[in-house]
Structure 1
Amino acid sequence: MEILRRLTKPVSHLVVLGLLALSLHLPAAQAGMVGTEAVVNAAQAQQYRERLHDALNRNDVRAQLLARGVDPAQVQARVDSLTDEEMQTLATNMDQLPAGGDGVVGALVLIFIILLITDILGLTNIFPFVKHNR
């Protein structure tokens, strides 16, 4: 009988602890419907992220980043930290930008050609390689 009393005390402590653990009020999981718009927005955000990562993984882009002293890994980390709205804005801006830059080179070439023509016609004397008939 003495052995039974020695065993009941630890077992009763375990039972009491088990009942206390079961009686704790933990927040229950809430299930709800996920709208189609939320799923579509999440899929689009993922596509934008993949497109931007693909663009940043190109060799020429990496070379330009390194030439400007920017670590490509740091750029990837910053892209990963963008919100979905920022990612969408960046992706739409990438689609709208011209492929050759912002047009500065084209404007410089146009100005060069205009000055060259005026120099050939004798209206200006800017370029030393143009021979004037004077």
Structure 2
Amino acid sequence: MKLAKPLLTAALVVALPFTAFTQSAQAAMIGVEQMQAASRSADGDAARAQVLEALSRADVVAELERQGVSPEAARERVAALSDADAKRLAEQVDKAPAGGIIGAILLVFFVLLLTDILGLTKVFPFTRSIR
């Protein structure tokens, strides 16, 4: 106890002058527009432009409408993306295969063919079950 009191006093003597150097902080509400304007960069704008260019293709517009999404709503959503999300989406657009539907059809065909051969389904008449 005798040692604790002088140590506490010394610590307070050293810390007390530093309390004058503290800065006050001020918080205020900011709007969404200010936040979006501050978070946008040139790379993000380029990525958004690339995604919007892909959205303007006729086949993409037809697929959006088939799924019940208006092209205007899709453009608004792309405009509201953050830079990181826009870049990620632009990379996915670049990597997407041009004939993705053909690959999906082939995958379904081979799955059904395999299930026919295993005797789980009977879709194709040209297969014989192993059961």
- Structure 2 residue aligned with 1:65: 64
Question: Highest CA radius of gyration, 1 or 2?
Answer: 1
- Structure 1 residue aligned with 2:109: 109
**2:122 is equivalent to residue 126 of structure 1:** yes
| TM-score (normalizing by structure 1) | 0.49
- Aligned in 2, Cα 1:97/1:128: closer, same or farther, shift over 3 Å? closer
3-state SS of the aligned residue for 1:70? Answer: coil
Counterpart CA distance in 2 for 1:125 and 1:80 is 46
Would you say how many aligned residue pairs link Structure 1 and Structure 2? 88
- Structure 2 residue aligned with 1:95: 94
3-state SS of the aligned residue for 2:69? Answer: coil
3-state SS of the aligned residue for 1:61? Answer: helix
**2:75 is equivalent to residue 76 of structure 1:** yes
Counterpart CA distance in 1 for 2:127 and 2:75 is 54
Partner AA of 1:126 in structure 2:
K
Contact 2:112 2:123 in 1 (8 A): no
* Shift of residue 77, structure 1, vs aligned partner: 1.0
Partner AA of 2:106 in structure 1:
G
* CA offsets 1:40-84 (integer angstroms, 9 cap, x no match): x93322221111111111111111111222111111111111111
- Which structure's relative contact order is higher, taking Cα pairs within 8 Å and 6+ residues apart? 2
Over aligned residue pairs, what C-alpha RMSD do you find?
A: 3.4
- Structure 1 residue aligned with 2:50: 51
- Aligned in 2, Cα 1:80/1:113: closer, same or farther, shift over 3 Å? same
- Structure 2 residue aligned with 1:3: none
| TM-score (normalizing by structure 2) | 0.50
Counterpart CA distance in 2 for 1:52 and 1:61 is 11
- Aligned in 2, Cα 1:73/1:42: closer, same or farther, shift over 3 Å? same
